[in-house]
Structures are given as structure tokens and as C-alpha cells.
Amino acid sequence: MASQEPLLGSSVHDAAQRAADLLAVLLPGPGHPAGPAALIAVLRKYGEPEPIEISATDLAELRRVALLLREVFASGDADTAANRLNGLLAGRAHPPRLTTHGGTSGWHLHVDSNDDAPWAEWFLTSSCLALAVLLADRQAPPGGFCASPSCGRPFVNVGRGAARRYCSHRCGTRERVARHRALQAGTSESTLP
């Protein structure tokens, strides 16, 4: 059940982005798709081999894990994020191992129990590993949630600059335009007799 694409190492950003995209479909919220079809679409996007079978139990466990990972994305600082990641990895992650899934993919790291680990175990451990690598690399929280009140989508911090506030340029621009219009409306009202 674990992905057959190399998702850690040269593609750690892809693994972290996969975690954010999975959170977006698994967490309840406005504009967040729900259900197995949206989940399967994200797994396909990141190279999960067919057939992708998600049972009702798998979906429930994946949602439970998404709530745990949400706390990492909601961390306001590196120390909090690191403590949350360490807590999630403790007792759940296994010693790192390299796998090719029987020669069907390139070598990549796993910290789940085996190549056929349950979906929730794979999601939690692979996401924590990718997010931990990003935190260690940037010395900052590995992700966050869009500050736009109409969005709230999880995103990954991969740049070296200041921490992001929005999941996309689109959300950032929409919020800047809204602030500008509100200021303009306030200025117009204060000049009325």
C-alpha cells in the first residue's frame, strides 16, 4: 500500500506536499472535498499504483491520522512543530529502511512497518518523516494553514524566506485586494459630509 515512487531524498518536498494535499481532502472544512474519490485522486497524483482500494475503515483511520498531522501544520514555531513530530514518530515509526517495492520503483526511504503497512500507518510515518526533514532543513515549521478566512487549506513551507501566510498567490492576492477595498471604503465614508 505504500507509494512506489521515490518520495524521500530528492523528493522530500513532494512527500511533504502530498501530506498537505491529503490533509486537504481528509480534514473537514469549507472547500475541502470529502470521500474516497477525492482521496484516491490525490494518491494517483503522487504515483500510487493501481488498484487503489480504500475501505471505510481505512478512510476513518486516515481521517484520524489527518487530525494528528493537523497539529504539526498548526504549529506556530519550530520547537512546537518538532515536539509534535517527535511525539507522533515515537512508538509509531520503525527504523528507516530502503525499499524498491520488489523492484517496481527506485530506492526510497520508509519508516512504516513494511511495504504492505496499512494506509494510515504509511500516511502518518511518511508524512512525519518528510515534514521532519523540512523542519531540520529550514529550522522553521514545515507547513501551515492558509490565512484566508475563505480557504484554510494546508500548505508546505519550502522556501528559505519568511514563513508563508497563504496557500497560493491567488489567496494572498484576494486578501490584499479585499484589504485595499475595505480601506478605500473606509476612506470614502470618512470624507462624506
Main-chain dihedrals φ then ψ at residue 133, nearest 5 degrees: -65, -45
Q: Is residue 58 a part of any domain in this protein?
A: yes
Do residues 89 and 133 lie in contact, with contact meaning Cβ atoms separated by under 8 Å?
A: no
pLDDT score recorded for residue 158: 78
Q: Is residue 1 a part of any domain in this protein?
A: no
Q: Is residue 4 a part of any domain in this protein?
A: no
Angstrom distances, CA of residue 193 to CA of 184, 188, 189, 190: 17, 11, 9, 8
Do residues 85 and 131 lie in contact, with contact meaning Cβ atoms separated by under 8 Å?
A: yes
CATH of the domain at 182: 1.10.3300.10
Q: Is residue 7 a part of any domain in this protein?
A: no
Provide mean pLDDT across the span 136-150: 90
Q: Is residue 175 a part of any domain in this protein?
A: yes
pLDDT score recorded for residue 1: 47
> Of 32 and 181, which is predicted with more confidence?
181
Average pLDDT, the chain: 85
Residues sharing a CB contact under 8 Å with residue 115, sequence separation 6 or more, in sequence order: 1, 2, 99, 101, 102
CA–CA separation, 126 vs 159, rounded Å?
Answer: 21
Provide mean pLDDT across the span 38-43: 92
* Predicted confidence (pLDDT) at residue 73 exceeds the cutoff of 90: yes
Q: Is residue 64 a part of any domain in this protein?
A: yes
CA–CA separation, 35 vs 163, rounded Å?
Answer: 31
103: left (phi over 0), alpha (psi -120 to 50) or beta: left
pLDDT one-digit tens code per residue, 167-177:
877 887 777 77
**Overall number of domains in the chain:** 1
Residues of the chain with pLDDT > 90, as a percent, come to 51
Domain of residue 36 covers 12-190
Place of cell 469549507: 30
Q: Is residue 3 a part of any domain in this protein?
A: no
